[in-house]
Amino acid sequence: MDTTVFVPIPDDAPAPGAGAAVTPAVRARALTKTYGHGEAEVRALDGVDVDFAAGRFTAIMGPSGSGKSTLMHLLAGLDSATSGQAFVGSTEVTGMNDKALTALRRSRVGFVFQQFNLLPMFTAEQNITLPVELAGGTVDREWLGTLVDTLSLGKRLTHRPSELSGGQQQRVAIARALVAQPDVVFADEPTGNLDSRSGAEVLSFLRRSVRELGRTIIMVTHDPAAAAYADRVVLIADGRIAGDITDPTPESALAGLDALRTVGAR
Amino acid sequence: MIRITLAQMRRSVGRLAAAGIAIVIGTAFVAVTLLAGNVITSTTYDSIAAQYRGSDLVAGGVPVDDAGLDAVRQVAGVSSADEQLLSFQQLEHGNRTIFQGVLATPSDPAMLPLDLADGALPAGAGQIALPPDVAERFGVEVGEDITLVRNTLVDADADVWEWEEAREQLTVTGIVDDPYGAYSMFGGAAVAPATEVQAWEADLLAPGEVSTEPSTVLVGLDDGADVEQTRAAIDTALSSAVTAAGGDASDLEVVTPTEHAESVAAQMTGGDNIIFTTFVLVFAAVALLVAALVIANTFQVLVAQRTRTLALLRCVGADKGQLRRSVLFEASVLGLASSALGILLGTGIAQAALTIGSGMDLGIPLPTSIDITPAVVIAPLVVGTLVTLVAALAPARAATRVAPLAALRPADAPSSARGAGRFRLIASLVATVIGFVVLGGGVAISTVGDAPSDGILVALLGGSMSFVGVLVGSVFWLPRVVALAGRLVGASGPTARLAAANTLRNPRRTAATSTALLIGVTLVGMMSTAAASARLTMDSELDARYPVDVTVSSDLSGDGSDAAAMPVGLAGAIGDVDGVATVVEVPATLSGLTGPGVDPGAEVMVRGVTPDDATSVLRSPEMVAPLAAGTVVVPEGIAEVWSITDGQTLTFDRPDGELEVTAAVTELQDDAVVVVPADLATLDAAAPTTALYVGLEHPGDAASVVPDIQDVVADTEAPVNVMGAAVERAGFEQVIDTALAIVVGLLGVAVVIALIGVANTLSLSVIERRRESATLRAIGLSKGQLRGMLAVEGVLIALVGAVLGVLLGLVYGWTGAAAALGWAGEPAIVVPWADVSLMIGVALVAGLVASVVPARSAVKTSPVEALATE
Ligand SMILES: Nc1ncnc2c1ncn2[C@@H]1O[C@H](COP(=O)(O)OP(=O)(O)OP(=O)(O)O)[C@@H](O)[C@H]1O
Ligand SMILES: [Mg+2]
């Protein structure tokens, strides 16, 4: 396939996007994570350097077990790195204590999960506003209205999760991730549990959040079609950054993945 | 299937352990109860058969003479046979006299049921061994002499028997203890040589008279002698000897000391220990009921969590019966294992208690080790396993209802959305309503109908029925109460709101957990409320019956005939006693009494008391309220005897003068009428002070203050009587307090199990909500907030159970007290605030504590788990 946009990046090359005038929303520097010891040691991440620009929708793709989730956990401060650094804005999250991390998650980072993870005993609205309440803040009604409109949740606010479809639940989860106006939203396979139509719906809402509301979203996905909604795809293989696709299409994303597989198979 | 079940059990070992603890405590309770019953039985037997300690066989029921004794001694296998002889003799030393039972030394000293504590047993004439108390009171030591004073019948033929007093010196050779209380009724027993004791007894008989009283022969056997054979041989030898002497041998009985104890214990209407065991077993039953709730809860959760596995099993061909059997098998394994542990724990506790108990001086010798009978092992094992099985029945049924389809659905947090049945609602409503009506009826029968014993039974029936109704219905109303409480605390912030919402996710489980606590708290609350009400009711009753705390009176016969003046200075001396608040000197005189309609010849004691003094010293001053110059307060009792009516004019006449007064009949309980001192002076200017009214600072201290007053009185050597009404009152109060403490302690076990249930429920919720906790952490819940959330949950569940339990306990306590004591006067409605706040405080703290361990595991959950796919 000669239309490939796959550009292998040497290990010692400067991180993509480095040198841009604005500080990236999220950065990784020599980020490494190993699990286990000795024989059983697994290098889930191996010296990753990557920047994610603010106001962009970035997808992370790679074969299963390549370290996508691990990268995301470390960037979001959900897990501790073995070495290297991760930054949200200019704040280093690696080495933060639990208190600081909690504060970070409250105001600067949002999450969207594959399983939605809404609280079953609360209504959609209560679920959406929960992060602000946990932080002891007051809900910005105007912003909430904007979110609800953008995500078309107006009629569903008083429903409980069990009364919502999977796509609706995931939209509620997106609203919950955005309600505190975080610097960045991480989404790990947000469409993994949805049929293709609801998946497409959710993805276009994610893209609208970036385009219309100016949010920053980093999404892990397996699906080249999903990745095509993003502004950029970061490819990862064997715990290393293995490629970068700007303005991906389903075809270019798939091609990128395929190239990784052939590399991996070699 | 068994393999799968065991594998599943291994996976949920933590949760099973939590349920197991409830059963362990419950069965340990049962085991301890049974062991305590055994210890009580053996100590009871020991003390019943204490007089025969050391004997191998006891023959009794017939008079035995020397020929009979010889016949027994001839029997093969018999090593010794002696008549058990106790003679009461007057012993003197210094200026003290003691009337003491003296036991004859048996030919084999091992058969003496007493222990030699010091010196030696008396070996010849003029020697005696004394019980320690007697030696102490005489102030004599081994080697010193005391005097025996005894009477000999010299002439039994005269109309009036003639006696001759003889005084003999006896040397104290030793001190004998009576460890099993064989002669505690007689303050222990002294010991003297058999020949001496026989001689003393013979002197009490007329010359030639032979005792026909049945005697007891203590028999010692040779080592290795066959008990049954020897018993039969003794029986034959003795009955022929008795028949030969012209006696009737049909009452002859030859028994072992243990057989004797058994038959005596059986005669005592079942025996105290049986009542004790039953009583405690009732509480063990309550504890087990609560444990069953906790276990049922745990299994419900286990089944809910395994929905997918169960459904998968169904998909691959397991039928409903197999699933049910699997759950029940699991329950039996858990029940058996926990019960076995419980028995171990129980025996451990019982043995420890015995070891500690025998180290302390309890007045009775305790066995050194517990007696593990088959019942002690089997009963708790069976009960514990059965309770676990029964508790698992409903969850087992739930397991069979898992559809194979459930395996295909996405994994959701298990929830038991299915509401309880309509039948249950109706049954609970009916039981509650009818129960409360019957309870009210019982109170009415007791108070209005004046039939307390019927009333209590009816009230008990109604109370139990309504309680069962309330418990059965708790699944309907308890979650609502929790919701309400949750809404209240939810206003305080998002953590509390989360907690409140969580408690409502599984109303059944919350209800069951709260209910377990509610049972214990209701019963404890009921007992303490009833005790407080009973005490107040009793107090007003006692105030009326014993208006004066302590009365010191020289009127020994009670009719004034021998009343003498109080020793001078006694009032002051009593006033100086610690704990005495007031002393009022009450002069009195005996006076004739006339008046319209009054029975002729009326004569009463007239006391003079000022209204101020009366108010200060009387517990029920309203009974002398009309007291004033020109008025006489006449106690009801006296008014009835002499036909005196309220408000009529009475005339007292005494040598010194006459007095015309108006009668005021009150409920005062006294044997004298009361006037003001000035009026008394008109009748008898020199009326002696015949009584002191003593008011105590705290009537509850009566038990310690009254003996001090008695000491002060005794110092004056005057013939003065001290009547401590307050002592009786304090006695009543102590009985109530002790009974309450025991009952509350026993019910406390149920409360402890219920609190374990709260911790259990929280732990299960934490395990169940792992992903959710992680999600909350990921969206900004701090560790502290997570802990706080669980703490609020625990407190909500515990507090709702405790508060409702207290309320129910108050209702049952009041109605119970009204039914039981309605006859004793207006039943008092009391809230035992101290106990109530203690219980609520305990629930609050326990709810917090219960959340600690679950919270620790919850905060360990990394937010990463929220992102995990499965
Ligand atoms: N907790 C852990 N302990 C040990 N090894 C782990 C752990 N978590 C991840 N790994 C390993 O680290 C590597 C990267 O895992 P990661 O979950 O990041 O992959 P992924 O790219 O998200 O895969 P997938 O697409 O299947 O979700 C894998 O080899 C995995 O086995
Ligand atoms: Mg992953």
Pick among A70, A74, A78, A160 to test the B interface (most B CBs inside 10 A): A78
Alpha-carbon span B390 to A43, nearest angstrom: 52
What per-residue confidence (pLDDT) applies to A207? 92
Burial track A233-244 (b if 16+ CB lie within 10 A, e otherwise): bbbbbbbbbbbb
State the nearest Cα–Cα gap between B791 and chain A, in angstroms. Answer: 16
User: What average pLDDT does range B595-624 have in this prediction?
Assistant: 83
Measured on CA atoms in the order B428, B431, B434, B439, is the torsion positive or negative? negative
Q: Residue A11: count other Cβ atoms within 10 Å of its Cβ.
A: 9
> Is the model more confident about B195 or about B861?
B195
Burial of A197 by CB count in 10 Å (0-12 exposed, 13-18 middle, 19+ buried)? exposed
Q: Percent of chain B having pLDDT more than 90?
A: 5
Strands (E), B613-748: 631-635, 649-654, 657-666, 672-675, 689-696, 721-724
Cβ atoms of B690 and B545 closer than 8 Å: no
End-to-end Cα, chain B, rounded Å: 25
**Closest Cα in chain A to B864:** A78
Beta bridge partners of B164: B152
What per-residue confidence (pLDDT) applies to B198? 85
Element (H, E) at B162: strand B162-177
What per-residue confidence (pLDDT) applies to B718? 63
What per-residue confidence (pLDDT) applies to B280? 63
For ligand 1, atom 10: residue with the closest CA: A44
Cα-based torsion angle of the residue sequence A228, A230, A234, A236 in order, rounded to the nearest 10 degrees: -60
What per-residue confidence (pLDDT) applies to A3? 39
User: What average pLDDT does range A199-210 have in this prediction?
Assistant: 90
Contacts of B333 (CB under 8 A, 6+ apart): B9
| pLDDT for A264 beyond 70 | no
Query: pLDDT averaged over chain B?
Result: 79
Counted across chains A and B, CB pairs separated by less than 8 A come out at 84
Q: Is A58 close to ligand 1, i.e. is its CB under 6 Å away?
A: no
| pLDDT for A252 beyond 80 | yes
Alpha-carbon span B579 to B581, nearest angstrom: 6
What per-residue confidence (pLDDT) applies to B127? 92
What per-residue confidence (pLDDT) applies to B721? 72
Alpha-carbon span B605 to B672, nearest angstrom: 5
* Ligand lying nearest the CA atom of residue A238: 1
The structural domains of chain B, with segments of one domain joined by +, span 50-268, 424-472, 475-546+729-870, 550-723
Cβ atoms of B443 and B458 closer than 8 Å: no
Structure-block tokens of residue B658: 């006459």
What per-residue confidence (pLDDT) applies to A9? 41
Measured on CA atoms in the order B239, B244, B245, B249, is the torsion positive or negative? positive
The model's confidence at residue B435, banded by pLDDT at 50, 70 and 90, is very high
A79: left (phi over 0), alpha (psi -120 to 50) or beta: beta
| pLDDT for A62 beyond 80 | yes
SS3 B643: coil
Query: Is B869–A192 a contact, with Cβ atoms under 8 angstroms apart?
Result: yes
Structure-block tokens of residue B195: 């020949």
Alpha-carbon span B410 to B335, nearest angstrom: 33
| pLDDT for B65 beyond 80 | no
Q: Residue B728: count other Cβ atoms within 10 Å of its Cβ.
A: 14
> Is the model more confident about B608 or about B96?
B608
What per-residue confidence (pLDDT) applies to B6? 77
Burial track B294-310 (b if 16+ CB lie within 10 A, e otherwise): bbbbbbbbbbbbbbbbb
- Say which range, A239-253, B246-260, B289-303, B466-480, has the weakest mean pLDDT: B289-303
Ligand 1 closest atom vs CA A67: 18
| pLDDT for A229 beyond 90 | yes
Which of B338-347, B469-478, B582-591, B717-726 is modeled with the greatest confidence? B338-347
Phi, psi at residue B257, to the nearest 5°? -55, -35
What per-residue confidence (pLDDT) applies to A56? 94
Cβ atoms of A50 and A16 closer than 8 Å: yes
Alpha-carbon span B291 to B285, nearest angstrom: 10
Burial of B284 by CB count in 10 Å (0-12 exposed, 13-18 middle, 19+ buried)? buried
What's the pLDDT tens digit per position in B123-160? 888 899 998 878 887 888 899 999 988 877 776 665 66
Q: Is A70 close to ligand 1, i.e. is its CB under 6 Å away?
A: yes
Closest CA relative to residue B773, chosen from B870, B863, B851: B863
For ligand 1, atom 30: residue with the closest CA: A65
The structure tokens 């029997």 sit at: B75
What's the pLDDT tens digit per position in A146-199? 889 888 888 889 998 888 988 899 999 999 998 988 989 999 889 888 888 888
Alpha-carbon span B462 to B445, nearest angstrom: 13
What's the pLDDT tens digit per position in B244-301? 877 777 788 888 888 877 777 666 544 455 555 666 667 677 777 777 777 777 777 6
Cβ atoms of B602 and B593 closer than 8 Å: yes
The 3-state secondary structure of chain A, one letter per residue = CCCCCCCCCCCCCCCCCCCCCCCCCEEEEEEEEEECCHHHCEEEEEEEEEEECCCCEEEEECCCCCCHHHHHHHHCCCCCCCEEEEEECCEECCCCCHHHHHHHHHHCEEEECCCCCCCCCCCHHHHHHHHHHHCCCCCCHHHHHHHHHHCCCHHHCCCCHHHCCHHHHHHHHHHHHHCCCCCEEEEECCCCCCCHHHHHHHHHHHHHHHHHHCCCEEEECCCHHHHCCCCEEEEEECCEEEEEEECCCHHHHHHHHHHHHHHHHC
What's the pLDDT tens digit per position in B559-575? 555 566 777 788 888 88
> Is the model more confident about A22 or about B263?
B263
Query: Is B866–A113 a contact, with Cβ atoms under 8 angstroms apart?
Result: yes
* Predicted TM-score of the model (pTM): 0.66
What's the pLDDT tens digit per position in B23-46? 888 788 778 877 877 777 777 777
Alpha-carbon span A99 to A102, nearest angstrom: 5
Alpha-carbon span B385 to B387, nearest angstrom: 5
SS3 B191: strand
| pLDDT for B322 beyond 90 | no
DSSP label of B156 = S
Beta bridge partners of A226: none
What per-residue confidence (pLDDT) applies to B276? 57
Angle, helix B422-447 to helix B474-490, in steps of 10 degrees: 90
Of B493, B779, B867, the CB nearest to A130: B779
| pLDDT for A83 beyond 60 | yes
Element (H, E) at B593: strand B580-594
The model's confidence at residue B371, banded by pLDDT at 50, 70 and 90, is confident
| pLDDT for B789 beyond 50 | yes
What per-residue confidence (pLDDT) applies to A172? 93
What's the pLDDT tens digit per position in B486-527? 888 888 888 888 888 888 887 877 888 888 888 888 888 888
Cα-based torsion angle of the residue sequence A98, A99, A102, A106 in order, rounded to the nearest 10 degrees: -170
Which of A44-53, B402-411, B592-601, B644-653 is modeled with the greatest confidence? A44-53
Contacts of A67 (CB under 8 A, 6+ apart): A33, A44, A45, A46, A48, A236, A238, A239
What per-residue confidence (pLDDT) applies to A21? 46
Alpha-carbon span B623 to B620, nearest angstrom: 6
- Say which range, A54-68, A159-173, B736-750, has the weakest mean pLDDT: B736-750
User: What average pLDDT does range B94-115 have in this prediction?
Assistant: 82
What per-residue confidence (pLDDT) applies to B562? 55
| pLDDT for A10 beyond 60 | no
| pLDDT for B418 beyond 60 | no
What per-residue confidence (pLDDT) applies to B414? 42
What's the pLDDT tens digit per position in B338-369? 999 999 998 888 888 878 777 665 556 667 77
Burial track B655-694 (b if 16+ CB lie within 10 A, e otherwise): eeeebebebbbbebbbebbbbbbebbbebbeebebbbbbb
Phi, psi at residue A145, to the nearest 5°? -60, -45
Alpha-carbon span A184 to A89, nearest angstrom: 9
| pLDDT for B648 beyond 90 | no
What per-residue confidence (pLDDT) applies to B341? 92
For ligand 1, atom 24: residue with the closest CA: A64
User: What average pLDDT does range B859-867 have in this prediction?
Assistant: 77
> Is the model more confident about B277 or about B398?
B398
Q: Percent of chain B having pLDDT more than 70?
A: 86
What per-residue confidence (pLDDT) applies to A12? 42
What per-residue confidence (pLDDT) applies to B344? 92
The 3-state secondary structure of B204-248, one letter per residue = CCCCCCCCCCCEEEEEEECCCCCHHHHHHHHHHHHHHHHHHCCCC
DSSP label of B618 = B
Query: Is A121–B410 a contact, with Cβ atoms under 8 angstroms apart?
Result: no
- Say which range, B271-280, B665-674, B818-827, has the weakest mean pLDDT: B271-280
> Is the model more confident about A87 or about B448?
A87
Ligand 1 closest atom vs CA A189: 27
| pLDDT for A17 beyond 60 | no
Query: Is B780–A102 a contact, with Cβ atoms under 8 angstroms apart?
Result: yes
Fold of A19-265: Rossmann fold (3.40.50)
Q: Is A79 close to ligand 1, i.e. is its CB under 6 Å away?
A: no
User: What average pLDDT does range B625-636 have in this prediction?
Assistant: 86
State the nearest Cα–Cα gap between A10 and chain B, in angstroms. Answer: 31
Alpha-carbon span B251 to B256, nearest angstrom: 16
User: What average pLDDT does range B465-477 have in this prediction?
Assistant: 87
Query: pLDDT averaged over chain A?
Result: 85
Structure-block tokens of residue B522: 């209701």
For ligand 1, atom 11: residue with the closest CA: A44
SS3 B736: helix
Burial of B270 by CB count in 10 Å (0-12 exposed, 13-18 middle, 19+ buried)? exposed
User: What average pLDDT does range B382-393 have in this prediction?
Assistant: 84
Alpha helices in B621-661 (DSSP H): 636-642
